[in-house]
Amino acid sequence: MAAVTLTIHATDGAARTGTLATRRGPVATPAFMPVGTAGSVKGLMPGEVRELGAEIVLANTYHLHVRPGEALVRQLGGLHAFSGWEGPILTDSGGYQVFSLARRRTIDDDGVTFLDHVEGSPRRLTPESSIAIQQALGSDVMMALDDCTGAPGEREAAARAMERTRRWLARNLAARTDPGAALFGIVQGGTFDDLREESLAATAAEGFDGVALGGVSVGEGRAEVRRIVATFGPRLPAGRPRYLMGMGRPEDLVEAVASGFDMFDCVLPTRHGRTAQLFTSRGLVNVRNARYRDEAGPADPECGCPVCRRFSLAYLRHLYTAGEMLGPRAGTVHNLWFYLDLMRRMREAIAAGSFAAFRAAVLARLDEGRDREEP
Q: What are the residue boundaries of the structural domains of the chain, listed by start?
A: 5-266, 272-370
| C-alpha to C-alpha distance for 238 and 210, rounded to whole angstroms | 10
CB 13, CB 356: distance < 8 Å? yes
pLDDT tens, residue order, the chain (375 aa): 789 999 999 999 999 999 999 999 999 999 999 999 999 999 999 999 999 999 999 999 999 999 999 999 999 999 999 999 999 999 999 877 766 777 788 889 999 998 888 888 899 999 999 999 999 999 999 999 999 876 668 999 999 999 999 999 999 999 999 999 999 999 999 999 999 999 999 999 999 999 999 988 777 788 999 999 999 999 999 999 999 999 889 999 999 999 999 999 999 999 999 999 999 999 999 999 999 999 999 999 999 999 999 999 999 999 999 999 999 999 999 999 999 999 999 999 999 999 999 999 999 999 877 645 544
The amino acid occupying position 369 is G
pLDDT of residue 247: 87
Sorted by sequence, the CB contacts under 8 Å of residue 29 that are 6+ apart come out as: 6, 16, 17, 18, 19, 20, 241, 262, 263, 347
Of 189, 193, 187, 186, whose CA–CA distance to 161 is shortest? 189
pLDDT of residue 100: 75
Q: Which residues have a catalytic role annotated? A: 92, 265
CB 90, CB 79: distance < 8 Å? no
pLDDT of residue 190: 92
Which strand (E) or helix (H) includes residue 5? strand 5-12
| C-alpha to C-alpha distance for 285 and 369, rounded to whole angstroms | 9
Q: 5-266 is classed in which CATH architecture?
A: Alpha-Beta Barrel (3.20)
CB 15, CB 260: distance < 8 Å? yes
pLDDT of residue 370: 61
CA distances to 127, 164, 168 from 110, rounded to whole Å, are 8, 9, 8
pLDDT of residue 295: 98
- For the chain, the first-to-last Cα distance in angstroms comes to 49
Please state the pTM of the whole predicted model.
0.96
pLDDT of residue 371: 41
